[in-house]
Amino acid sequence: MYFKNKQGFSLIEAMLAVTIVALVLTPLFVLENAIFSGVGRMAETFHRALFAQNFLYNAQRDEPVGSTSYTVERKEEKPLTMVRYTLSPIAKRSSLASVKHLFKQQVEASGVEKASPKATCVLFAFRPGAAS
């Protein structure tokens, strides 16, 4: 049947419009996926940094009085993280070595997988009662 006053779209025109919209939106979905995976990695790094900071305070509280070197480790479950606290004197080759009674406290929080992000907190503590 032939209509003189044609209104609406033919099937070919509608399919072409859907194809064009799909071609425009595909890169946006790929970009959205990349953004969400990056946000997930940053959230994991942030959680590890919070674990490291909290572990630093707990290790400072639990370390023996007057100690000059001390190491403790703990495993966190969510996200799966190994946390290590180390108290040590300042290295001799450091520019801070001239300051007496200065110690370095370091906490490293790293994931079990190789590609997982790592967080490190470093604190310098002046302890006049300890031997350096």
Task: Say how many domains are in the chain.
Answer: 1
**Domain-embedded: residue 131:** no
The residue with tokens 């450091």 is 94
**Domain-embedded: residue 63:** yes
pLDDT at 27: 93
Q: Which two tokens stand for residue 30?
A: 């790929």
**Domain-embedded: residue 110:** yes
- What residues make up the domain containing 41? 11-126
**Domain-embedded: residue 95:** yes
**Domain-embedded: residue 75:** yes
CA-angle at 125, arms to 111 and 67, nearest 5°: 85
**Domain-embedded: residue 105:** yes
User: pLDDT of 16-52, one tens digit each?
Assistant: 999 999 999 999 999 999 999 899 888 888 888 888 8
**Domain-embedded: residue 45:** yes
As a whole number of angstroms, the distance between CA 92 and CA 115 comes to 33
**Domain-embedded: residue 2:** no
User: pLDDT of 51-108, one tens digit each?
Assistant: 888 888 898 899 888 888 999 999 888 778 888 999 999 989 989 889 888 999 999 8
